[in-house]
């Protein structure tokens, strides 16, 4: 008899669970209703009748300061719109937050998403392609940097507005070059030149070359040889089904790193940007690869003369250039039309040469509008810091191709982790091909699952 009651209570417990589950369901129902009502929903306005929109970004440090002042300038420049910039953590974190509100009226009008989130955003259904506004407004897109637009254009449609763009460059210590008897004005350009220079530069305290253990640099070294990351034309002709970065171009990169690692001229400073920058600045490594967005900071802080060069390429291939990195701005779908209009006006404001000149100089990101480089402030700054121009030259001399357009896969963040593990295994002595194949296998599984559950 007693046992029976125990069951009865268990039953009641389960019942209360179901009731709770029902609660959550009813909640989602109401949000759906809200969505339906959205057609005629009200727009948030300030007391003066300005349309208020929120802008989620992932810029911290210098980038945040600069962005906040740009937003403040925009708000002061007109009396119709009010943009509220909100820092949402790293790119990964803000994307995670967006996933929970995307497509609803609570979504921010503008979200900054990193370049490898492009395919995910397109497929998410959260966004309104920016092309729609370009067409409606007859906005002249040709004034923007072609090599940057190239990345964000999918099926001839521009999905998001490029904003902060960067590329990798190779930084080197000119003083160390002089000490080693190398020409400080001529940086090594090919893999074998870098290997030779690294051997000469190595001292007891200083390694010759280093690269942050981060998938992005590997992708760049593959692309600059014209190699593809995944099949289906780098995922741009259709859904990629297989990784191709373990082919000959990828192998050359791994062998390049492996040669120096075995010779003891390669310094491994881990996965943290600050660590590798500190290593360079404190003279622990003579050459390393960094983002163009970090160049200004390094030049200002290094106690020696810093040289900036193009990223190295394989001796067996031609230099094809670099793939754009960084982030772009996405317009939300499902928000009021007035809010989209406000967002579009803000995006247009961001692309003006004056704003871009300020942005370029304060952060080191590229100007997406190249006429910014003709602004007097930029010319002055370049006069003082000619290294900045190298980064722009490298981007502008890039040959548009599928390889340099960049790969398009939805599981890019996962694939990058696989590459990081492969690099770490390589530095621990695994053979280049084996390390690469493992990363490719992991990427293939991720792609397969993504395609299956689409």
Partner 1 sequence: MMVSQTKAKKSVWKRSLDARTALLYLLPSILLFSVFVFYPMFRTIYLSFFLTDQNGNAALFVGLENYTYLLESVAFRNSIKATFLFVLYTVPTGIIIALILALLANEKLKGIGFFRTIYSSTMGISVAASSVIWLFLFHPSIGMFNKLLNIFNLPQVEWLLDPTWALLSVSLSTIWLNTGFSFLILLGGLQNIDEHLYESARIDGASYWYRLRRITIPMLSPTLFFIVTISLINAFQTFGQIDILTKGGPSQSTNLIVYSIYKEAFVNYQFGTASAQAVFLFICILIVTILQFKLGERKVHYQ
Q: In whole angstroms, how close is the CB of 10 to partner 1 at the nearest point?
A: 12
- Find residue 271's DSSP bridge partners: none
For 276-397, list the strands marked E by DSSP.
Answer: 285-291, 306-309, 325-332
Using the rule CB under 8 A, is 453 a contact of partner 1? Answer: yes
| Minimum gap (Å) between residue 422 Cβ and partner 1 | 9
Per CB under 8 A, does 72 bind partner 1? no
Q: Does 127 bind partner 1 (CB under 8 A)?
A: no
The footprint of partner 1 on this chain (CB under 8 A) covers a number of residues equal to 41
Given the rule CB under 8 A, which of 38-46, 149-157, 220-228, 271-279 is the region that contacts partner 1?
271-279
Smaller CB distance to partner 1: residue 95 or 372?
95
Whether the CB-CB separation of 78 and 49 falls below 8 Å is answered with no
- Coil, strand or helix: which one is 423? helix
Q: Which residue lies nearer to partner 1 by CB, 286 or 388? A: 286
Does position 391 bind partner 1 by CB under 8 A?
no
Q: Which of 56, 81, 91, 120 binds partner 1 (CB under 8 A)?
A: 120
Considering beta carbons, is residue 198 or 336 the nearer one to partner 1?
198
**Per-position b or e across 76-91, b if 16+ CB within 10 A of its CB:** eeeeebbbebeebeeb
Closest CB 421 distance from partner 1, rounded Å:
6
Span near partner 1 by CB under 8 A; candidates 52-60, 163-171, 338-346, 423-431 = 423-431
Give the residue, chosen from 96, 203, 301, 433, that forms a contact with partner 1 under the rule CB under 8 A: 96
SS3 state at 224: coil
Using an 8 Å Cβ cutoff, are 282 and 368 in contact? no
Figure out which of the listed residues 410, 439, 440, 443 binds partner 1, where binding follows CB under 8 A.
410
Q: Of the listed pieces 195-203, 349-357, 370-378, 422-430, which binds partner 1 according to CB under 8 A? A: 422-430
Q: What is the dihedral of CA 355, 361, 367, 373, to 10 degrees?
A: 90
Distance CA 188, CA 16 (A): 70
Nearest 5°: CA angle at 88, between 87 and 92? 135
Q: Which CA distances in Å does 29 have to 22, 34, 37, 333, 334?
A: 10, 9, 13, 20, 17
Nearer to partner 1, 220 or 268 (CB): 268
Least separation, in Å, of the C-beta of 39 and partner 1? 23
CB 394 within 8 Å of CB 167: yes
Tell me if 104 contacts partner 1 by CB under 8 A: no
Residue from 58, 59, 56, 67 nearest 358 by CA:
67
Secondary structure (3-state) at 280: helix
Between 3 and 138, whose beta carbon lies closer to partner 1? 3
Query: Measured from the CB atom, is 268 or 363 closer to partner 1?
Result: 268
Site for partner 1 contains 15 (CB under 8 A): no
What's the min distance (Å) between Cβ of 261 and partner 1?
A: 13
Q: Which residues have CB under 8 Å from 205's CB, separation 6+?
A: 283, 284
451 touches partner 1 by CB under 8 A: no
Going from the C-alpha of 124 to that of each of 31, 114, 129, the distances in angstroms are 18, 15, 12
CB of 12 to partner 1, least distance (A): 8
Q: Per CB under 8 A, which region of 52-60, 174-182, 183-191, 413-421 contacts partner 1? A: 413-421
- Contact between 421 and partner 1 per CB under 8 A: yes
Each residue 178-217 as x (binds partner 1 by CB under 8 A) or -, in order, gives -----------------------------------x----
Task: Give per-residue burial for 263-292: e unless 16+ CB within 10 Å, then b.
Answer: eebbbbbeeeeeebbebbbebbbbbbbbbb
- Per CB under 8 A, the segment of 141-149, 318-326, 382-390, 405-413 that binds partner 1 is 405-413
From candidates 5, 36, 337, 384, binder to partner 1 by CB under 8 A: 5
Interaction between residue 225 and partner 1 (CB under 8 A): no
From 322, 359, 432, 302, select the one nearest 163 (Cα to Cα): 359
Closest of 429, 436, 398, 432 to residue 149, by C-alpha: 398
Q: Note the residues at the interface with partner 1 (CB under 8 A).
A: 5, 9, 12-13, 16-17, 20-21, 92, 96, 99, 120, 123-124, 213, 268-271, 275, 278-279, 282, 284, 410-411, 413-414, 417, 420-421, 424-425, 427-428, 446, 449-450, 452-454
């Amino acid at each position: 008899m007693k046992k029976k009651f125990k069951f009865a209570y268990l039953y009641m417990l389960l019942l209360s669970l179901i009731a709770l589950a029902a609660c959550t369901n009813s909640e989602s129902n109401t949000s759906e209703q809200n969505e339906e009502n959205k057609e005629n929903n009200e727009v948030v306005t300030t007391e003066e009748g300005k349309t208020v929109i929120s802008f989620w970004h992932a810029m911290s440090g210098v980038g945040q300061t600069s962005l906040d002042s740009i937003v403040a300038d925009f708000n002061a420049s007109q009396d119709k719109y009010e943009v509220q910039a909100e820092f949402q953590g790293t790119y990964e974190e803000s994307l995670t937050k967006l996933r929970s509100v995307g497509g609803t009226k609570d979504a921010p009008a503008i979200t900054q998403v990193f370049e490898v989130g492009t395919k995910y955003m397109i497929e998410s259904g959260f966004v309104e392609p920016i092309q729609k506004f370009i067409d409606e407004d007859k906005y002249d897109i040709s004034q923007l940097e072609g090599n940057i637009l190239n990345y964000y254009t999918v099926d001839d449609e521009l999905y998001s507005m490029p904003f902060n763009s960067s590329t990798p460059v190779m930084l080197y210590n000119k003083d160390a070059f002089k000490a080693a008897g190398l020409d400080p004005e001529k940086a090594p350009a090919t893999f074998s030149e870098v290997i030779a220079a690294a051997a000469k530069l190595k001292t007891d305290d200083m390694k010759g070359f280093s690269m942050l253990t981060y998938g992005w640099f590997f992708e760049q070294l593959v692309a600059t040889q014209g190699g593809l990351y995944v099949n289906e034309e780098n995922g741009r002709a259709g859904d990629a089904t297989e990784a191709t970065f373990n082919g000959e171009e990828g192998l050359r990169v791994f062998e390049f790193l492996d040669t120096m690692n075995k010779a003891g001229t390669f310094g491994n400073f881990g996965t943290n940007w600050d660590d590798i920058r500190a290593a360079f600045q404190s003279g622990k490594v003579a050459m390393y690869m960094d983002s163009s967005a970090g160049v200004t900071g390094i030049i200002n802080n290094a106690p020696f003369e810093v040289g900036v060069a193009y990223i190295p390429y394989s001796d067996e291939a031609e230099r094809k250039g670099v793939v754009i990195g960084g982030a772009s701005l996405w317009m939300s779908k499902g928000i009021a039309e007035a809010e989209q209009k406000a967002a579009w006006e803000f995006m247009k404001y961001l692309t003006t040469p004056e704003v871009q000149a300020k942005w370029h100089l304060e952060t080191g990101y590229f100007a997406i509008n190249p006429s910014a480089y003709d602004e007097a402030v930029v010319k002055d700054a370049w006069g003082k810091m000619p290294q900045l121009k190298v980064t722009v030259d490298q981007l502008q001399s890039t040959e548009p191709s599928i390889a340099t357009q960049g790969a398009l896969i939805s599981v890019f963040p996962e694939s990058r982790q696989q590459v990081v593990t492969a690099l770490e295994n390589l530095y621990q002595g695994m053979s280049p091909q084996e390390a690469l194949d493992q990363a490719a296998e992991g990427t293939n599984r991720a792609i397969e699952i993504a395609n299956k559950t689409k």
